[in-house]
Amino acid sequence: MESSRYDGRRNDEMRKVTITRDYTKYAEGSVLIELGETKVICTASVDDKVPPFKKGTGEGWVTAEYDMLPRSTATRNNRDRNNLKINGRSNEIQRLIGRALRSVVDFKTLGERTIIIDCDVIQADGGTRSAAITGGFVALMDACSYLVNANIIPEIPIRDFVAAISVGYVDDRELLDLCYYEDSRAIVDMNVVMTSTGKLIEVQATGEEAPFDRKVLDHMLDLAEKGINELVAIQKQVLLSR
């Protein structure tokens, strides 16, 4: 019989996921995503400017910024502005979020404008980058709906749904959706970004203590696909709620 995890879940069981739309007043798209005890606010803002390399192309752009509030963790983190530069981890994660969301956007349909996805972690318990991508996609969809409803663009410029999830190898078991306690003890740590049609966008897999077998990777990818299918179903349910 499969032994239960730190928080009582099965190996292939996600934490409870809640996505609340229209979480803030002013942004064209905004959500609060809760993945277990992890909570991230994702806002999507429309800007009529594009980066220099997109000027005159008729195409738009999607970019992302990611940050953790100082007391989103057990001990207080310093704000990046106090260090006069972006934290290396934050920079890596926000680039991942941007790549993930851009992969499904039709930039011609979006037109020469930028949608900025701001992901602010207000409480961290593992999986913050996965939550940011999953929630950021819903905020992006709402921002695109705003543009359609305002007759600024003719149709939603999104080709597929995108979600992300963490997987790990902990205590000789492959586990889906790691909380911080599990993540801190994982021998293999992996984050997977995938579309609703099963296409991989990014796989970040690291042997934290030692190399790992291909069969472990394959099983973890299967677990990730299961989790992402569940997340996409939640995204669709939330987006169809009104």
CATH of the domain at 106: 3.30.230.70
What average pLDDT does range 17-38 have in this prediction?
97
Domain count, the chain: 1
- Say how far apart CA 85 and CA 98 lie, in whole Å: 19
8 A C-beta contact, residue 225 and residue 194: yes
- Give the pLDDT of residue 1: 42
Q: Sorting pLDDT into bands at 50, 70 and 90, what band is 84?
A: low
| Residue 7 belongs to a domain | no
Residue 100 and residue 191 in contact, taking contact as beta carbons nearer than 8 Å: no
Assigned domain for 8 exists: no
Task: Answer whether residue 1 is part of any domain.
Answer: no
| Binding site per annotation, positions | 89, 127-129
Question: Binding site for phosphate, residues?
Answer: 89, 127-129
CA 29, 32, 38, 40 torsion-angle sign: positive
Domain that holds residue 156: 17-239
Amino acid at 80: D
| Position 95 pLDDT exceeds 90 | yes
Residue 156 pLDDT > 80: yes
